[in-house]
Amino acid sequence: MADPQKIVDGNADGDFFVDTTCINCDTCRQLAPESFEDDGDYSRVYRQPRSEIERKEATRALISCPTGSIGDRSGSKVNSVIEDFPLLIDGNVYYCGFNSPKSYGGNSFLILDKEGNWMIDSPRFTRSLVKRIEALGGLSRIFLTHEDDVADAASFAKYFGAERIIHREALHAEPDAEVVLEGFDSVEILPSFLLIPTPGHTLGHVVLLYRNKYLFTGDHLYLDRTEQSAERRLEVHGRHCWYSYEELTDSVEKLLEYDFEWILAGHGDRGYLPKERVKEQLKELVNEMRADESNTHRR
């Protein structure tokens, strides 16, 4: 629970606040960008919610904050907002919420599919989310993009009897996973579910392409909303590349072989771009990354 005695400097006066336990993971800024912003070491409330919609968004951020660093002095109706999760993104794809401190606040997603529902990376194992997923048909598979974002996957797998999928090079994080990916060739686990190895951030990093439309990118790729332009741009976590920046560049270039229009990131923002713009931006990004390599600079 957030402590009003530890409010970060610069927090706007009002009900909502952020305290100094914040790890600046970006969750609140993704869910309620009209209220929260990056203030260096922490996020802060730069403007209090001005409508019921904005208040609901801020409350969703409070619920999903992995460290419980957001408070609301008004004692808002958290219980009613909890029922919003998982949040619909598009079609049959959802954002789980309840980001976990075990994954540094990484995002988790849910696909409702007639062949069985998929969870991509893991949120916190919480009763309310478990019951909502149960009502939506449970889980058949839990795909883990890499070792950083495993979180409570074992608890979800045990509860739902779901099989976990992870690459051999990340298996140390989930050693009893039921399905272990080998090598670095793409694998179609089921029709419409293509797993694409993307070494770079880590050696065993893998992304999921669903229906040639939705790319679940883990920590490989995200949409940057800090650019001062009308269109958000594809970006990589170059300064948080634990294995190889050169291979990260190759793995970004590899995505030019595929079509997708939704970028659903574990860390960093998510959203939609037309397929044509995805291709154009990927090419631009690869060129920029190649230049970074030659200058030994990391984005």
Encode pLDDT of 55-68 as tens digits: 999 999 999 999 99
pLDDT tens digit sequence for 216-228: 999 999 999 765 5
Encoded amino acid at 86, one letter: P
Q: Is 108 in the same domain as 57? A: no
Mean pLDDT of 288-292: 91
Residue 123's pLDDT is what?
99
Long-range contacts of range 72-78, CB-CB < 8 Å, 24 or more positions apart?
72/15, 72/16, 72/17, 73/4, 73/15, 73/16, 73/17, 74/15, 76/15
Check whether residue 100 and residue 48 sit in a common domain.
no
Q: Which residue has the tokens 């998510």?
A: 270
CATH number at residue 13: 3.30.70.20
Question: What domain range is 185 assigned to?
Answer: 83-294
Give tens-digit pLDDT for 102-135: 999 999 999 999 999 999 999 999 999 999 999 9
Structural domain contains residue 78? no
What percentage of the chain carries pLDDT values higher than 70? 96
pLDDT of residue 76: 72
Q: Contact at 8 Å (CB) between 224 and 238? A: no
CA 100, CA 12: separation in Å to the nearest integer? 26
Same domain, 61 and 101: no
Residues 45 and 94 in one domain: no
pLDDT tens digits, one per residue of 176-185 = 999 999 999 9
Does 138 share its domain with 270?
A: yes
Query: pLDDT value at position 222?
Result: 97
Least confident of 51-55, 85-89, 219-223, 235-239: 235-239
Q: Is the pLDDT of residue 266 over 60?
A: yes
Question: What pLDDT score does 292 carry?
Answer: 81
Q: Are residues 60 and 145 in the same domain?
A: no
1 pLDDT band (50/70/90 cuts)? confident
Are 16 and 36 a contacting pair, CB within 8 Å? no
**Going by DSSP bridges, is the β-strand pair 187-190/193-197 parallel, antiparallel, or unpaired?**
antiparallel
